Chains A and B, each alone.
Chain A
Amino acid sequence: MTIARVGLPYKKVAVFSFLVFSAVIAVSSLSVGQVAPRWEFYGGYSYLRFDSPTLGYVNWSNLNGFNGEVTFNITTRFAVVADGSGHYGNQLTVYNYMLGPQYALRRDKSKFFVHGFFGKAQNTVNIATSISNGFESVGRAFAAGGGYDRDLTPRFTFRVQADYLNTSTFGATQNDIRVSTGVVFHVGHIGRRPKL
């Protein structure tokens, strides 16, 4: 069953992408940190503004949940990230599992980063009908965003990050916003400290 649909909010996505890119340019003059952890393990609270009208709802949904990431820093700038999140609301459960590259700029105790992820979306609508207690759809997902880390101790860092999340489930495309904050745990190190 196909449905005629109005186009996606490409204009807003373009504006968002331009502002994130501008943010990276704004901080690109920072001197590059010479040391980075080899592994970063992130966990925190996540908020998802979910495009539920594409599933037949009246309004967008505000979902709450978690976000976790494992980052392997190849160099002090480039890394590979595995990202997983779960968000929950009235009748809705949204899981995303993604992988992708990250680019970071470090200075003193700060790290600015941008990333792009690709992977899977698993969305469930928990509504009761005469034949089912819910409906699940699995599709592709991609995300683009960035964030900021601030060292708290040599091992722990505070993080805040935001992503535009695009998923394809239930025969429609969802355009979502995800915002997350939490703590990063560091293991190992790479690079060397600059000579004084």
Chain B
Amino acid sequence: MPSNRIFLVLIVLGLATLVGCGSSATHTAYVTLPNSNAVAAYRINNTSAQFTAIVGSPYPSGNSPSSVVVHPSNRFVYVTNQLDNTISLFAIDGTIGSLKEVLPRTRTGLTPGSLVMDTPGSFLFALNQVSSSISTYSINSTSGALTGVAGSPFATATDPVALALAPSGKFLYVVNANLASVFAYTVSAGVLQPVAGIPVQVGNGALAITVDPAGNLVYVANSTDNTVSVLAINSSTGALTLLGTFAVGTRPISLVVLGQFLYVANLGTANISVFSVAPTTGVLTQVTGSPFGTTGAPLFEVIDPNHLFLYTGSQSGMNISAQSITISTGVLTTTSESASTGVAPSSMAVTK
């Protein structure tokens, strides 16, 4: 019966137009929400930066989560709970990327504000702002469990505000805003030793610090002076030498480096200053079009794992927004992709 065949062929063709619905490569992002005592989770399209909230998000954490890191295995997430003085360990569901906390929580010093992890995911460092110390932990690669390193916590100068770890894992740097200084430590099996010599003076109101991926330069955001300090790392000792100080926007609050470009988030002017960096001298030159406006005053920045987008978190805007990066020029272009977090976010980390 010819009409039967025609009918069935048309139905099959119709199905074929819709069944070819595949998938796109993605990564996940985790955002701390201090006012909700929770961690939000999003799946982000690698190509378009489209955000999709993962079912069940946000997931409860401790009291006032402040900082988040993702283990390089993409199996664990660690979050500092600033008012509990603890670290939460979350296991990431391998299928959907949801979080399940593994109890009990790990004790830290008073008011843990920042977290960094070494590249292999062997050690975790938590900066305790009120007790002026750094708690260091070894990480069990199977369970993600934390074990305090002998001698931890290690004392810092009073009121440390931020820390950064060199990609080699051999040196760690701590910023003290009230002293306008950067302190250097060597790292060996998680044990910290101060680098000999006086700390390096930077600008007033130093609140953020980062190390370039090559491990040659350290950048410090001086939020009161509205400048960025650039320091060279002695690859043998970890000692720092100030190369220069450069003007940026008002209240620089965050720094990230991608290739030869430095991205500085300016909280006061709600934009991002982008600089090319001379590799030897550390001289910063603002790129054409910089600074680039953001959606809400930016508090933190994260580069996506494919180096295509810069994610910016805004407390006033209560959102995470994505800007595309032109890798050759460092130029940022606003996209329509964003996620409303509902409450003010404080930090963000992405899977690889």
Q: What is A's interface to B at a CB cutoff of 8 Å?
A: 1-6, 9, 12-13, 15-16, 19-20, 22-23, 26-27, 29-30, 49, 51, 53-60, 90-91, 107, 110, 112, 125, 127-132, 135, 146-148, 162, 164, 170-172, 175, 177, 179
Q: Identify the closest chain A residue to B45 (Cβ).
A: A6
Once A1-B53, A131-B60, A148-B7 are accepted as A-B contacts, the answer to whether A6 and B48 lie under 8 Å apart by CB is: yes
Total cross-chain contacts (CB, 8 A) = 152
Once the chains bind, are B17 and A125 in contact (CB under 8 Å)? no
**With an 8 A cutoff between CB atoms, is B139 at the interface?**
no
* Listed A/B pairs (25) with beta-carbon separation below 8 Å: A1-B57, A1-B58, A3-B42, A4-B50, A4-B336, A4-B340, A5-B50, A19-B14, A20-B14, A49-B18, A53-B24, A55-B55, A56-B43, A58-B26, A60-B21, A60-B23, A91-B95, A129-B60, A130-B100, A135-B55, A148-B8, A164-B18, A171-B53, A177-B15, A177-B19
Once the chains bind, are B17 and A1 in contact (CB under 8 Å)? no
Number of B residues whose C-beta is below 8 Å from A?
51
Once the chains bind, are B10 and A56 in contact (CB under 8 Å)? no
Once A51-B21, A56-B53, A56-B55 are accepted as A-B contacts, the answer to whether A19 and B43 lie under 8 Å apart by CB is: no
- The 8 Å CB contact of B17, one of A16, A58, A131, is A16
Once the chains bind, are A22 and B10 in contact (CB under 8 Å)? yes
Could you say which residues of chain A place their CB within 8 Å of the CB of B11? 19-20, 23, 146-148, 162
**Chain B contact residues: helix, strand, loop or mixed:** mixed
Could you say which residues of chain B place their CB within 8 Å of the CB of A12? 17-18, 21
C-alpha gap A177/B339 in the complex (Å): 28
Q: What is B's interface to A at a CB cutoff of 8 Å?
A: 1, 3-4, 6-8, 10-11, 13-15, 17-19, 21-24, 26, 40-43, 48, 50-60, 93, 95-101, 103, 336-342
- The 8 Å CB contact of B23, one of A59, A91, A131, A175, is A59
Once A4-B337, A23-B11 are accepted as A-B contacts, the answer to whether A53 and B43 lie under 8 Å apart by CB is: yes
Residue of A1, A15, A128, A171 ringed by the most chain B CB atoms within 10 A: A1
Min CB distance A137 to B, Å, is 8
Once the chains bind, are B60 and A3 in contact (CB under 8 Å)? no
Once the chains bind, are B18 and A128 in contact (CB under 8 Å)? no
C-alpha gap A51/B15 in the complex (Å): 15
Once the chains bind, are B101 and A130 in contact (CB under 8 Å)? yes
Min CB distance A150 to B, Å, is 9
Once the chains bind, are A23 and B7 in contact (CB under 8 Å)? yes
C-alpha gap A131/B103 in the complex (Å): 12
Q: Identify the closest chain A residue to B33 (Cβ).
A: A1
Min CB distance A125 to B, Å, is 5
Once the chains bind, are A53 and B17 in contact (CB under 8 Å)? no
